[in-house]
């Protein structure tokens, strides 16, 4: 697209939606980005920045002047401005904040005072709150009368004199109600209030569960301080659900725009941990070197036992990690869940053990070997099922993210149990000669 001259590029990009401009910049190879950015210059506004991938944005921010950035941030709702500013380095952050108007600065500084990934960072301060005694007509006059209000709201919050929310009102209800009706008769009293320090993942689960479009954020005194809208939640749900798959494999953030250097660092540290566990598993094999030397077929079959356990363990793990992420596992059904996975593991283990035993007997005609092979398969499947459910639930209780650390425990378990049960039974039974 941007191979030609700058003017053509500008004309082609101009009619695009900010999200599309952000995509275009992301999909442009890193070397060509500066040229593209220069030619479409003024089209890159705050909206484009807030739609952009973190890595690409950082690159772009470094190239921009703090004053320009402040101008962009001022156009945005607080939540989007915070999302851009929170990732910047301290010095850049200060420069941008200084260039903002005092009001905008205060709002952003306050948002930055809440913990990362909390509702306080996520919320926008712009919202419509009206007192309880107003009628629908009062609200209409208020909305039409003041120019300074945001136009980006989906619900109106009704508050008491202490600015505590007492109800919410969808705009469609207001539109369908005569002017004289009191707001307290239109609003819905049951509402989901979001504490300002709630974790964003929890906020997303509430939105999902109650099909919310927007929700009031309250401080520790129950006062309305902001609102969270569903468009921000959509991003979080997609990120959080996608993160689990990346964490489970130790791929870190796993973003394709992450610099290679950082990707190597994250992945390598995970691989080193896994190498440690692989050595533990290998040392189990080391105990049985004389049996293997006497009967090398053991070395052929042993990776099948450990590998199948690993696969079964990963299946259980995926199910349990997903169920934990969606709050489907509670104290009341933990044991039921453990029992469920053990039943599945017993059924699968028996089936695989039978296939393995019969298959190996047909090929090698060695009865005792086949029995040992089948028994090890059953044992390792049970270990996989038990580990796959107990490990993530335990980590979750200890407040450690089960998606990050479960896999390494479970595969170590299935490798060790696979090698130990197969080689150990072989040694005991004298198959190894």
218 part of the interface to its own copies, by CB under 8 A: no
CA distance 250 to 39: 39
Among the candidate windows 60-68, 70-78, 117-125, 209-217, which touches its own copies by CB under 8 A? 209-217
Question: Site size for its own copies, by CB under 8 A?
Answer: 119
Among 106, 129, 355, 400, binds its own copies (CB under 8 A): 355
Q: How far is the CB of 406 from its own copies (least distance, A)?
A: 12
Among 6, 43, 159, 213, binds its own copies (CB under 8 A): 213
348 part of the interface to its own copies, by CB under 8 A: yes
181 part of the interface to its own copies, by CB under 8 A: no
212 part of the interface to its own copies, by CB under 8 A: yes
Q: How far is the CB of 92 from its own copies (least distance, A)?
A: 26
Q: How far is the CB of 105 from its own copies (least distance, A)?
A: 25
141 part of the interface to its own copies, by CB under 8 A: no
166 part of the interface to its own copies, by CB under 8 A: no
- SS3 for the chain is CCCCCHHHHHHHHCCCCHHHHHHHHHHCCHHHHHHHHHHHHHHCCHHHHHHCCHHHHHHHHHHCCHHHHHHHHHHCCHHHHHHHHCCCCHHHHHHHHHHCCHHHHHHHHHHHCCCCCEHHHHCECCCCEEECCCEHHHHHHHHHHCCCCCCCCCEEEEECCCCCEEEEEEHHHHHCCCCCCEHHHHCECCCCCEECCCEHHHHHHHHHHHCCCEEEEECCCCCEEEEEEHHHHHHHHHHHHHHHHHHHCCCCCCCCCCCHHHHHHHHHHHHHHHHHHHHHHHHHHHCCHHHHHHCCHHHHHHHHHHHHHHHHHHHHHHHHHHHHHCCCCCHHHHHHHHHHHHHHHHHHHHHHHHHHHHHHHHHHCCHHHHHHHHHHHHHHHHHHHHHHHHHHHHHHHCCCCHHHHHHHHHHHHHHHHHHHHHHHHHHHHCCCC
> Could you say which residues in the range 225-264 bind its own copies, by CB under 8 A?
230-231, 233-235, 237-238, 241-242, 244-246, 248-251, 254-256, 260, 263-264
Among the candidate windows 6-14, 105-113, 114-122, 211-219, which touches its own copies by CB under 8 A? 211-219
CA distance 187 to 181: 11
Among 39, 182, 184, 311, binds its own copies (CB under 8 A): 311
Phi, psi of 428 (to 5 degrees): -60, -45
**Considering beta carbons, is residue 88 or 174 the nearer one to its own copies?**
174
Residue with token string 């959509």: 234
197 part of the interface to its own copies, by CB under 8 A: no
**Considering beta carbons, is residue 100 or 320 the nearer one to its own copies?**
320
**Considering beta carbons, is residue 106 or 294 the nearer one to its own copies?**
294
Q: What does the per-residue mask of binding to its own copies show for 373-392, with x meaning CB under 8 A?
A: --------------------
> Could you say which residues in the range 279-298 bind its own copies, by CB under 8 A?
279, 281-283, 285-286, 289-290, 292-298
From the list 42, 47, 40, 37, the residue with the least C-alpha distance to 17 is 47
**Considering beta carbons, is residue 70 or 284 the nearer one to its own copies?**
284
26 part of the interface to its own copies, by CB under 8 A: yes
173 part of the interface to its own copies, by CB under 8 A: yes
Among 312, 410, 427, 432, binds its own copies (CB under 8 A): 312
Q: How far is the CB of 94 from its own copies (least distance, A)?
A: 30
84 part of the interface to its own copies, by CB under 8 A: no
Beta partners for 182?
135
> Could you say which residues in the range 35-64 bind its own copies, by CB under 8 A?
51
Q: How far is the CB of 13 from its own copies (least distance, A)?
A: 15
Q: How far is the CB of 347 from its own copies (least distance, A)?
A: 5
């Amino acid at each position: 697209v941007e191979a030609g001259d700058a003017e053509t590029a500008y004309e082609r990009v101009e009619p695009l939606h900010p999200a599309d401009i952000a995509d275009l910049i992301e999909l442009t190879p890193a070397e060509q980005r500066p040229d593209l950015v220069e030619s479409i210059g003024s089209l890159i506004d705050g909206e484009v920045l807030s739609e952009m991938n973190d890595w690409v944005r950082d690159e772009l921010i470094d190239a921009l002047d703090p004053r320009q950035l402040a101008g962009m941030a001022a156009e945005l709702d607080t939540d989007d401005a915070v999302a851009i500013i929170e990732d910047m380095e301290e010095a850049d952050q200060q420069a941008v904040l200084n260039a903002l108007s005092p009001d905008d600065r205060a709002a952003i500084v306050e948002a930055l005072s809440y913990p990362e990934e909390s509702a306080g960072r996520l919320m926008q301060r712009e919202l419509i709150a009206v007192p309880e005694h107003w009628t629908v007509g009062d609200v209409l006059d208020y909305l039409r009368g003041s120019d300074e209000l945001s136009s980006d709201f989906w619900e109106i919050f009704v508050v008491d004199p202490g600015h505590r929310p007492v109800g919410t009102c969808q705009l469609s209800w207001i539109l369908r109600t005569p002017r004289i009706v009191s707001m307290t008769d239109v609003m819905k009293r049951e509402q989901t209030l979001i504490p300002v320090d709630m974790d964003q993942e929890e906020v997303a689960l509430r939105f999902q569960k109650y099909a919310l479009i927007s929700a009031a954020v309250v401080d520790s005194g129950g006062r309305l301080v902001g609102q969270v809208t569903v468009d921000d939640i959509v991003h979080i749900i997609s990120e959080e659900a996608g993160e689990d798959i990346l964490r489970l494999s130790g791929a870190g953030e796993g973003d394709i725009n992450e610099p290679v250097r950082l990707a190597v660092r994250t992945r390598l540290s995970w691989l080193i941990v896994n190498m440690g566990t692989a050595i533990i598993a290998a040392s189990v094999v080391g105990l049985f070197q004389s049996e293997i030397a006497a009967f090398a077929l053991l070395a052929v079959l042993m990776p099948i036992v450990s590998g199948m356990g690993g696969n079964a363990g990963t299946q259980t793990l995926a199910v349990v990690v997903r169920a934990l992420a969606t709050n489907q596992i509670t104290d009341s059904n933990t044991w039921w869940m453990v029992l469920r996975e053990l039943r599945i593991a017993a059924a699968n283990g028996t089936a695989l053990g039978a296939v393995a035993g019969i298959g190996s007997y047909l090929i090698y005609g060695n009865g005792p070997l086949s029995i040992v092979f089948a028994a090890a398969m059953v044992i390792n499947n049970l270990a996989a099922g038990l580990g796959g459910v107990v490990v993530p639930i335990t980590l979750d209780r200890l407040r450690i993210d089960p998606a990050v650390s479960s896999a390494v425990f479970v595969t170590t378990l299935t490798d060790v149990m696979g090698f130990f049960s197969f080689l150990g039974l072989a040694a005991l039974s004298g198959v190894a000669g």
